[in-house]
């Protein structure tokens, strides 16, 4: 059976998307299950991982990042559904380049993890507590890590996109020049 380039590209995108989303969602669910089964909720007890820097502490967040919009769980769930569905639709209909595709897949993965919590628990399970430079950073989870990694990837790519595209164009020009040179050499013989 012969697959067209368009079908191959679609299948590749489906595989990449599925791997990223399933991996992120699964890691998020597993880590949250471990926390829920092994730590007490809202008890001021931390499990020290790296002294003065990294701890696990089980809390429930009814808001968004930094507890913004606390107690607006259903509003945040609706926004999350719209984001996950909208981004997924965009990824498969507009066919952005691979860098955008991967970054946005990471964001969908994290969004889906926290959406699951909002729907089934009425709040998001957070447990990673850090103290960079002695500052108490807001507690977060694996889904948040996927969202942030996707966002950073997207920002970094956007900052260097023009340079990367020039490099790819230059490679194509060199390839064309090499082909012309080989043609010229072949004609001389």
Residues labelled catalytic: 126, 144
Residue the block writes with tokens 């090499």: 178
121 vs 117: CA distance, rounded Å: 5
Quick one: which of 73, 57, 149, 86 has its CA closest to 116? 73
Residue 68: both structure tokens together: 């913004």
Q: Which residue has the tokens 């919009």?
A: 69
| Separation in Å, CA 63 to CA 59, 75, 147, 156 | 12, 9, 16, 28
Q: Minimal CA–CA distance to 148: which of 162, 128, 133, 176?
A: 128
Q: CA–CA separation, 189 vs 183, rounded Å?
A: 10
Residue 48 near residue 163, CB atoms below 8 Å: no
């Amino acid at each position: 059976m012969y697959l067209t380039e368009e079908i191959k590209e679609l299948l590749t995108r489906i595989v990449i998307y599925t791997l990223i989303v399933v991996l992120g969602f699964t890691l998020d669910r597993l880590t949250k299950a471990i926390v829920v089964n092994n730590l007490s909720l809202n008890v001021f007890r931390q499990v020290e991982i790296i002294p003065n820097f990294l701890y696990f502490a089980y809390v429930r967040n009814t808001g968004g990042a930094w507890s913004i919009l606390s107690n607006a769980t259903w509003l945040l769930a609706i926004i999350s559904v719209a984001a996950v569905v909208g981004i997924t639709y965009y990824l498969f209909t507009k066919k952005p380049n691979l860098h955008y595709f991967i970054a946005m897949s990471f964001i969908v993965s994290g969004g889906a993890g926290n959406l699951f919590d909002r729907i089934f628990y009425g709040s998001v399970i957070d447990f990673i507590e850090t103290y960079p430079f002695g500052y108490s950073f807001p507690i977060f989870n694996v889904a948040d890590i996927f969202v942030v990694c996707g966002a950073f990837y997207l920002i970094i790519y956007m900052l260097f996109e023009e340079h990367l595209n020039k490099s790819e164009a230059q490679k194509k020009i060199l390839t064309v020049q090499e082909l012309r040179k080989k043609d010229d050499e072949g004609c001389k013989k």
